[in-house]
Structure formats: C-alpha cells, structure tokens
Structure 1
Amino acid sequence: MENTREQAIENAEDISSNRSGNETFEAVRTRRFTRRGVLKGALMAGTALAIGSRLPPAEASAKPSFVFDEIHHGVDETHHVAPGYDADILLRWGDALFADSPAFDPQAQSADAQSRQFGYNCDFIGVIPLAEDRAVLCVNHEYTNEELMFPGLGRQDKADFQAMTADLVAVEMAAHGGTVVEIVRGGDGKWTADVNGKLNRRITAQTPMRLSGPAAGHDRVKTGADPDGMTVLGTINNCAGGVTPWGTYLMAEENFNGYFWGKDGLDAHPEAAALKRYGAPGEWYAWGKFDDRFDITKEPNEPNRFGWVVEVDVLDPTSAPVKRTALGRFKHEGAETIVNGDGRVVVYMGDDQRFDYLYRFVTARPFDAGNREANRDLLDDGILSVARFNDDGSLDWLPLVHGEGPLTEANGFRDQGDVLISTRQAADLLGATKMDRPEDVQANPKTGKVYVMLTNNSKRTADQVDGPNPRAENAFGQIVELTPANGDHGADAASWELLVVCGDPAAADIGAQWNEATSANGWFASPDNCTIDPDGRLWISTDQGSAWSKSGTADGVWALETDGPLRGTGRMFFRVPIGAEMCGPVFSDDGETLFVAVQHPASDGVKNYPGFERDSTFDDPATRWPDFEDGMPPRPSVVQITRQGGGKIGV
C-alpha cells in the first residue's frame, strides 16, 4: 500500500494506459543519437552514455546568465532560499480572501468557510497585472490530503473511507479548484492579498461552468442533471495552467479519473474501453460515496465532463468559467500560450502520464490586442495536434481532425466531438510518440524555443534498452528543447534537442547529462514546471514525489542556462520543506518577485525522512511548516521571493 495519496497518484501514472504500438520517445532518441552523437558531442562508451563525466567543460571566460550564491541539496522541516533573498509567505491554506471570510479554524472546518478561504494544495500560479503595484493572483488548488487536513482522521483510502462523512467531502470539494485574488505591493517591495479586492473569487468543485467548443452538447457529455450537455458543476485536480494574452486564467484538469467510483461496474459500462484508457474510475476519494455524479454506475457520462482546460475571465467575477473542449480531453498538466508571428495563439500542453503525448493547439483566428472582447471565444476554434518525434531530429505535428486519416466513423469517431472527448485514442491512431510523462511546456517569447518537462518514467524496462544512450527505469527525467520551423509555432514541423538529462552526474549508473560547469548542487531530478523570466531565462521546479530519497534532496527551484558555452548548467535557488512539492513558479512583470507554490508539505516520502520515519498526519506531521505552531497542521502556501534591497531576481 502506498504511503500517501501523492504516491497513489504516482503509481497510477506509472501504469501506462496506452496500449498502442506507437514508438516511445526513448526509441526515437536512441536511433537519432546513434547516428548523430549525444548532446552535441558527448562521448560514447559501449552501450551506455558516457555521462558520468558531464558535457565538455565550458570556456573559462564564460559568464553565467544567473548571478546568485547557490544553496545546498538537503531536506529538513523548512524552506531555504539563496543568500540575499527573502522568501515570505503570501497566502496559506485557510487564509481569508474576503473581508467577511471566517478565521481559519482547523478543528472546526466547514464547506462554507473553505469556500471563502484560500484552498488546499496550491499548484499553478498566474499573475495578471492591473496597475504598477496591483495585480490579480490566480492559483490552482490541485487536490486534498484528508490525513493532513482533518484532526484524528488518518489516510482514508487505506480504510475504505470509513471515517469520511458528507460534511468532510464537502470541505474537500470546496478546497479544490482555484483562487482569484487581488494583490498589492507595498513600499518594502512585498505583496499582500487585498481582501477588499472587487475581483476576488473562489472557484470550487461545485462552481457552475459552461462547456464550449465541438464537444459542448454532445451526447457523450449529457447527464441526468444536465440533459443538454452544456453545464458542468466544478473543476477538479487543477495542476498547472496558463494565462492568455488577453488576460484570462487557464486551469488545466489533470488526474480527474481518481475522483470517480464504480470499478465493479466498469466492464458493463458502455464506454469501458474509453474509461480504461483514461484510468477511470480510480476511487481515490470518498466523493462517489456521497455524490452520485462521481459514480459511473449512476452517471455514466460524468467522467467525460472532466479532463479539459477551463478558461476564467478574472476581470468579471460573476462570469461562469468555460471548459474549452477544442483543446482536447486528457490529463492536462498545463496550458501555456504564445502569440505566433502571424497573430494566432498557440497553446502547448502535456498529457501527464507515462507513455502519453505532447500536444499543441493553434487558434483559427489571430489575437486582437486592441479588442479584448474579440478574443472571448478564440479558444473554441482551431486545430489540436499531437507530436511525433523523428530520429533525424525533426518533429511532426499531427492534426486531430475528424475525417482525416484514421479519425473516421469506422474507427469510432462520428464527429469532432468524439475526437476531442477521446483525444488519447485519436492520438494513438495517428502514431504519436510515447513520451516519458510530459508535464509543463513553456515557450520562450524572447528566443522562440519551447521547453518540454519530461518528469520520469520508472517503468521503462531493461528489454527496452537499445543503443548507446538509453536509460532503463528513468527515475530522474529530462528536458527537451523544441525549435519551431522558421520560428513559426503554427508550422507543421519543428526540430528537437535534449537540453539536460536529469539526475546526479557523479553517479555513472544514473546516466545524467549536464554541462561540466554544473556544481554538486546545480543538478536536479524530475523537472515538472518551468517559467521564463522577463529577461528570457529558464527556471525549473521539480516534483520527485516520494522518490526524493533517491536523489537525497528535497524539491525546489533551479536556474538553468539554455544558450552559449554554459548551456545545460543548473544553479539551485530555492528548496521546499520535507514532504512538499515545488510548483507554480512565475515572475512579476518587472522580474523583482518570484512567486512559487509549496504543495502538500509533510506528505511525500516521510517514512524515509531520518528521525521521523512514520506516516504523517494532522496530529503528527513531519513538519508544521509554515506556522510551526502546536495544533496547527502543515499548510500548503504561496511564497513570494524578493531580493533584499530590491532589484531583479538572479542578476
């Protein structure tokens, strides 16, 4: 049995639901570098990468893009940031968002109170400027940990949810979703939440939402409560996300499958094969015990109403969020945008599961910078494509369009709605490349490059090792850099390179690849989210899950060089407390604040934490970060990092 819900999720992601015969990215990578060499000239050694020695050393005169003193690898009960910087708590689980929000009382929680407080397990962070020192902060709340949220409870999926009640489930539902809150910067350069902000709102698992695009009104999204198939209650498991050029907030729905009940009735379900391709029902929560819409035997189509990208108009707190079905249905890690040279908007997305795919959506119409209203439904019309990596270093974007190629009624696709509801199966038929758990995908507006975070794939077996550079049991992940053809993000093709292969380069059996200039603290494992600062520099956050003990260090934020002789050099900037995951890095427009999300402190891998080595609960947590008060549980929090004395981060 897994130690935490995070490990349950990790194990579910380990079990690939992709039964297609499509090639893995590893096979493509092997063939390519068999002919071309590894990462621009690393030496070969028999059938393994000569990567214990790292990349060739950088020129002695090379100057780094990042200037700060690194912190050290390690793990303890608090957070750490580079010298000369402050890391202050901006918002914690339970903090007030409105003038009339009740005070946080962990001993007496209610759904009504939680719906007016900052939610649990903060992940994606978006910042939308309103004025020089005022902005809208948008934060996803991915999921809940009942064993750390509620006193005297413990982990419930270990005990058939016996102690869960309808009231506790209602609190969980209210703790999901997202927070939209105005923040203001004071004379000291620090931001605070404005509880009187007119744009403040909470979005939960019960918030009414509109379906739009080709799958809206489709027979497969109609339910007893919504016979028109146009309105959905809530959003769940919102991992990463994005902010559009017209200033809306994109919430990506990831592991929605875990919320549904009905395993015993799965084989009799009319869409059993489709549900299995998405890993539903997972039965990770007690929701199906109290709410029929989360039981597939009672509401067969409800799972098809999740797994989308949700758009929120933050400037209108009364507006209904919209699930944009044209962007496809899968386990969305994020939805990051860039305006193409021809004005069209491109959305890059990863499907976060082992052996699943990388996607791209290109709008049919261009973005209108002078007319926000004209962009309102821009994400309803365009082409969704999936990536096929080729061994010559090229990439093809394969359109997922009904009637083209195998996407026909003969293969079960009656219309475009079917293609989008069953995006994974459609991508299977097109021959997309199986990836090593693609997560965040970020385009650099300064250079046009695109960075794909491949977190890990521990289930690649030894019999898949083929060629001079593969890694079986890839526990540490890698980062792929894409270059769109002729700088056109809407082009049918791109080229690709490996930027880094993660893990400790001093351990020859791991197979890591870094620039020689990377220090003993500059390497990292399991890249998850990333961000580009205002100067076009790449920053990485990590999610090792319960496997952090394999690297010996907690998750955190690293700066990563992408150009010149120092390309592939990492520098460690921030570290989370024991059991936490590092999420949501994003900079203020002026580059003087880095916002990060510390998710599920005291949860992951605590049995491997020396001196603790037991299950972590509300009453007995591995850390009480960030309050460190008796009786106060660990609280997921957004942290703001600023330079002492002011100025840009990392210069």
Structure 2
Amino acid sequence: MSYSQTFHQAMDAVDDITINPAVNPDLNQVIDSGRRDFLKGGLAYGLMGLSGAILNTPLGGCSGSIRRGPLLGFAAIDVQTAPDFDQVIVADGYQAEPFFSWGDAVLAGAPEWQADASDDWRDQLMQAGDNHDGMHYFPFHDQPSAHGLLVINHEYINPTLHPDGFKWQDRKRVPAQVKKEQAAHGLSIIEIKKDQHGQWRRVPDSPYNRRIHAMTPMQISGLLAGNVQMKTRADPSGRVVLGTLNNCSMGVTPWGTYLVCEENWHHYFCNNDEGDYETRISHKRYGVAQGKRSKYYAWESVDPRFNATPDANQPHLGYVHEPNRFGWVVEVDPFDPDSTPVKHTALGRLCRECAVVSVGDDGRMAVYSGDDTKGEYIYKFVPDGVYKEGSRQLNRRLLSEGTLYAAQFRDDGRGRWLALRLGENGLTPDNGFADQASILLNTRAAADRAGATAMDRPEWIAVHPHTREVYVTLTNNDERGDKQPLNKANPRPHNLHGQILRWNEEQADPAATDFEWTVFLLAGEADTAESQAGDIVADNLKGNIIGDIFSSPDGLMFDGDGRLWIETDYDDDAQQNQNMGCNQLLCADPFSREVRRFLVGPRGCEITGITFTPDFRAMWINVQHPGLHYPASDGKSRPRSTTVLITKLDGGVIGA
C-alpha cells in the first residue's frame, strides 16, 4: 500500500466520525414502531419491510414519463481485483485517456510539472490542484459540443504534493509547504476545444483559464454578510473571506455559473479552549478540532487564521470566527475571469457535498444538498424569487434570499420538508436561535431541533432531466444502529455498502413541501446461501442490485436520455469489498433498475466528478488519489489525480 493510500484511509477514518449528538424526539415519534419491529425481527425484517409501496417501485407521479425502451447500450465489464491494477478500463467500443492531471499548466507561462514534486507554491498557483472532484463543462454558444470551459474542483491534498511528504521544523509546519497546499486547493478553470482532427485539446493561453485557491478573496452575501459572527482580525468588516476549502461536489445554475461546495472544511481549524469549545455550537456541532492541532495539516502552526482559539483579552479580534466563514455554497462565474466568487449564506452552513438546481415550469427553483457526515441531513433551498430566462444579473440574486428546508423521511413512503425559519419547528430564541442568521450559521443544530431524519452520509444528488424525480446517494454508515435510529430509508444497522433513495416532489414542483420517496436500490453483495439462511452479518452486506454489484455509491448524474451514472468511493482493500474490486463507474436504468459496470479505475482511487458535452458524445470523469502510479502506470512514477476523457469509438452518444 502506498503512502498516499495510507493517508487517504486515515483521512476517511476521521471524516467518518459521527458528530450528530441528537436523537430527535419528533423523529422518534415518526419511526418508533418501525424501529421496534426492526429490533424484534432483525435485519431480515428491515429488508422485507421495504417491499411493496416503498422498495423498488417507480413513483406514481413520474414512472410513466421515464423512457421505457432499452437505455443501456453497452456490455458490462468485469470487476478488477488484482492488487497491482493500475489503469482505467472502459466498456468495449469506448476509449478512456488521461486529459488533465495535478500539476498540468492552467495559466499561461506556468512551468512544466516536476516529476519529483519539487514545484514550489508559486508554481502551484499556476498549475492544476490536487485531488480532482466535482466538475462541469460550460459550452460556448458557437460550437457547444466542440468548445467550452471545464471547471474542476480540487478537494484536498495528498502527501505526494511534496517530494518527501509533510515536513516540520521546530514543531511547526514548513511555511512554504503550507502555501503550496493552500495553492493546490480550490478549482481550475480551463478552456478546451476540438482541434482540426476532432481531438479535444486544452487552450494554454486562454484568457478564461483561472486558478481559484485557499487564498483567493471572496465576498460574503446574505444575512451573515457583516454579521459579528463573521468578523475576524484580518476582516473586521465580516464581508471578505480568503479562499475556499475541501471542494467536493458542486452544482450549476441555469444562468451559467458554477456552485462550489465546501465539505470537510472543519478539519482545517482547531480551538484549544476546551470551555469555549463546549459552548460554541458553530465549532462543536461541526467537529472543529479541539486540542493542540487541526486534524490533518496543522496549517494553524504557521497561518494564524486557522487557529480558532478565542483571544481571552480581545475575543472578537482573533480568528475564533474564521470557521464560520466556511461551509457555504460559493458561486463562481467561469466566463468572467476577473469576477469575485461569492459565498451565499442563505443556503445554510454544512459540510456540503453538492448544490443541485431544479427549476419548475413556473420558474420556482430548488437547490438540493447533502451534508456528507454519518447521521446528517438532506436539505433544499427555495429562493423567494423565480428564475427568468435571459435575466442573468437578476437571477444571480436568487441565491441571496429564500427558505432553507431539511428533509424528514417517514416510514409510510411520504416525506416533508421542514422549514428552518425563525419561529417555526422549534427554532425560537428560547431554544437558542436568536435570529435567522443564527439558524443559517448553525444549520445542523437547527435541523436537529426541527426533527429532520438523520441519514447514512448523504452525498451527491441528481435530478431526472424529464421528470424532476430526485435521487441521492447515501454512501454508508457503520454506526447506524449505535448512534441513529433505524428507519426504512436507512434500514441497516451496520451499513457498509450504502443505498440510493429517490423522491418525487408533490406535483413535480421543486418548491413543494411534501414528497413521496422510495429506496431505488440497496448496494452490496448478491444474495448468498448465508444470507438466505438468516445469517445477520451476511444479511447486512446483502444488496438488491439488478445487475453488477458495487459498494458505497457517491457521484451521481443523469445524462440527457435519463441514464443514471453512479460513481463509487470505497476502500478497495477492505474485507467487505473484496468482491467489488477497484472503484467504478456504473450506469442504471431508472425504470428497470438494471445496473451495468461501465468503467473501472486503478487500485486505491475514488471515481468521482462527471460531466458531458451537450451532445453527450464526450464524457469526463476524475480518478482521485490513485494508489499506485496512475496515469503513468509505469511502476515508478508519482501518482496524480487525473481528469479522464471518455469517447465512443464510433463517435456516438455515450451509453446508448
């Protein structure tokens, strides 16, 4: 196992710690009978009880609209279980080629990436960052499927960013290393275009090419702009923050901007005042480190803004509020390289995985998000205004005012969106919420009080392009039975493989407050003799996938025909995943529920990020933290997170 793999698994172990301390009384009332039955009958009941109206049936409001012809037009490929597998393979009739890797030039004049990682932080500011994740292709109107901008998130960094890993001097991190790490976060914007031979190329001197990183100035919008809880020593106005961190998935607005989501930002900060930490919800409820150092990188040892310990003499002039300035949706205009990114506080503060937009017939919108931690919640934001095509500047105000909701999934297959609004659902001054700004700052605590359903690590969300049916990946949760109540949306007490849920808003209206939901599939093994015999451990690992098995669904996206693309993120060395092989990209038919394996990545990687050209004849996915030597795959080179271009050999639509 490589140094990079070991580091990634250590990070996963910390990321997967449950932070939610609450078992909501309101939620217990909703699911109590199901929980008792589950405990009486064991896991077998938990799976059987999902049959009929709740499990595996198309939702009445949308099933008739889903294309019923064969959607999956490729032959499935096999799993890859070899410990030295170090390549990307794709279905027959397709090709997959590395397109954009960590260290590749973004800005004109950027130096060539050094194979020994000796590039310094100034070089890194001009080059692709590390750990590619969510991304999107923005077309130019003249040739939409042959010319566009590719925007790619860089979630975090690996020790391989440096020649010999992380270094310390006098109990402090080396300042130049910290600067390089900050420069390798954020996102890259690159112009890409087909050449005269029809091959995709990067445009190296494009004025659109841009790097956004952990030192890029950003504006704060919404109720918390200028709020005392956002003010720091470096920014007494509380309106300008440096950088964005841990950008995992994303979203795209109908007016052509990119929504960057800040996920595990809390691991970059520490608060060493135990008494303050215990009473400061904005730190403790999000898992900011309490102790001598932050969880991973110890940036606070050389950059004071990451030390959120209050100053006893001047508590509001230090950086105790710096963590409050992360966890937001950041809007970036890829077509304006001089624009300032905007952090929208109206959408609430989470460890947010995505910000997926759905627009109704009347222009009402919803922005869906998952909070990617065990036992956290699913949210949606409904703007006060309506989307108006062609009114770009007016539409950009839609993310500044609106209502934030948290989801409650009931065991009868119905659900309700609980408004996180002052004076409703227990969100009152008597319960610790003095105003709407405090609700947005402490969104998790607000959802606790409102009675939202604790979920099995909500990750990516996708909206069906024709029906507006919404799908969410729940990656896994091995602490369900210990720390959160069981229910039919989250039925396994030791959930190592995860599931995908789907729901239909009432009358397919994104702004509705009621919905119907179902379990689309339970990931995991095929049925075995042990599970058929009632073995509780085997039953817990059993899925109900029709087709190719997988674990831990993560990335999720629909194409134009309604094929659902599923990406996975599991430890391919773990015992329970031995039969799954390396992480993979699969495709599902939403109506038949058939799943086929389309692509497999190298050992140790996560498959993540997915985007298409408008004609769906080119696809890009990301190979994050490959464990061996990819993309060189030569047995000796440093591994590099890489964006991979996938095309069909006959030039046709991918997946068809």
Q: TM-score under structure 2 normalisation?
A: 0.87
Distance 2:642 2:14 in 1: 26
- Paired residues of 1:501 and 1:513 also in contact (CA < 8 A): yes
Q: Which moved more, 1:506-515 or 1:370-379?
A: 506-515
Whether the 8 Å contact between 1:548 and 1:555 is mirrored in structure 2 is no
Deviation at 1:537, TM superposition (A): 1.4
* Conserved 8 A contact 2:133-2:622: yes
- Match of 1:531? 557
Gaps of 5+ in 2: 58-67, 310-317, 532-537
Cα distance, 1:45 vs structure 2: 9.3
Q: Does 1:213 align with 2:239?
A: no
Contact 1:558 1:571 in 2 (8 A): yes
Contact 1:266 1:272 (C-alpha < 8 Å) held by counterparts:
no
1:168 aligned counterpart, secondary structure? helix
CA shift at 1:244, angstroms?
A: 0.6
Q: 1:503 aligns with which of 518, 524, 541?
A: 524
Cα deviation for residue 627 of structure 1 reads: 1.8
1:251 alignment partner, SS class? strand
Residue 104 of structure 2 is matched in structure 1 by: 95
Say whether the 8 Å CA contact 1:465–1:471 is kept in structure 2.
no
1:494 — aligned with what? Answer: 515
2:596 maps to 571
What residue in structure 1 maps to residue 323 of structure 2? 303
Q: 1:648 aligns to what? A: 653
SS in 2 for 1:97: coil
Question: How far apart are the structure 2 equivalents of 1:25 and 1:239?
Answer: 29
- What is the aligned partner in structure 1 of residue 14 from structure 2? 12
Cα distance per residue 1:494-521 (max 9 Å; x no partner): 0000000001123431443435xx34xx
Quick one: which of 567, 581, 595 aligns to 1:541?
Answer: 567
- Written as runs of structure 1 = structure 2, the 5 A alignment for 1:268-307 is 268-269=276-277, 272-281=280-289, 282-297=294-309, 298-307=318-327
Residues 223 and 45 from structure 1, CA distance in 2 versus in 1: closer, same or farther, beyond 3 angstroms? closer
Evaluate the alpha carbon distance shift between residue 166 and residue 226 of structure 1 in structure 2; reply closer, same or farther with a 3 A threshold.
same
Aligned residues: 609
Q: Deviations over 1:352-374 (max 9, x none)?
A: 00000000011111112112121
Q: 1:426 to 1:34 in 2, by over 3 A?
A: closer
1:46–1:576 CA distance, 2 compared to 1 (3 A): closer
Q: In the alignment, is the contact (CA less than 8 A) between 2:375 and 2:484 conserved in 1?
A: no
Q: Tell me the equivalent position of 1:620.
A: none
Alignment match, 2:64: none
Q: Which residue of 2 aligns with 1:611?
A: none
After superposition, give the CA deviation of every residue in 1:91-111 in whole Å (9 maximum; x if it has no partner).
Answer: 000001123111111442211
Change (3 A) 1:569 1:30: farther
Q: Deviation per CA, 1:602-635, whole angstroms, max 9, x where unpaired?
A: 1xxxxxxxxxxxxxxxxxxxx2110235763100
- Separation (CA, whole Å) in 2 of partners of 1:212 and 1:136: 26
User: Contact between 1:548 and 1:554, CA under 8 Å: does it hold in 2?
Assistant: no
Task: Answer whether contact 1:181 1:199 (CA < 8 A) is retained.
Answer: yes
Residue 592 in structure 1 maps to residue 617 in structure 2: yes
CA contact (8 A) 2:35 2:486 kept: no
Q: Verify the 8 A CA contact 2:553 2:566 in the aligned structure 1.
A: yes
- Structure 1 residue 562 and structure 2 residue 574: aligned? no
Structure 1: runs of 5 or more not aligned? 36-42, 603-622
Q: CA deviation at 1:446?
A: 0.9
Whether the 8 Å contact between 1:326 and 1:379 is mirrored in structure 2 is yes
Q: Distance in 1 between matches of 2:474 and 2:212?
A: 29
CA gap of 1:171–1:549, structure 2 versus 1, over 3 A, is farther
Change (3 A) 1:257 1:529: same
Q: Deviations over 1:456-488 (max 9, x none)?
A: 001123797879993221000000011110111
CA RMSD of aligned residues (A): 3.1
Identity of aligned residues (%): 38
Aligned counterparts of 1:532 and 1:384: Cα–Cα separation in 2 = 25
C-alpha displacement at 1:593, in angstroms? 1.2
Could you say if the C-alpha distance between residues 162 and 582 of structure 1 is closer, same or farther in structure 2, counting changes exceeding 3 Å?
Answer: farther
- Corresponding residue number in structure 2 for 1:400: 420
Q: Secondary structure at the match of 1:376?
A: helix
| Residue number among 155, 161, 174 corresponding to 1:142 in the alignment | 155
Aligned counterparts of 1:44 and 1:64: Cα–Cα separation in 2: 37
Residue 186 of structure 1: CA displacement? 3.2
1:441 aligns with 2:461: yes
The alignment partner of 1:87 has SS state of strand
The residue type equivalent to 2:131 in the other structure is N
Counterpart in the other structure of 1:605: none
Q: Is the 8 A contact 2:263 2:327 kept in 1?
A: yes
Tell me the TM-score normalised to structure 1 length. 0.87
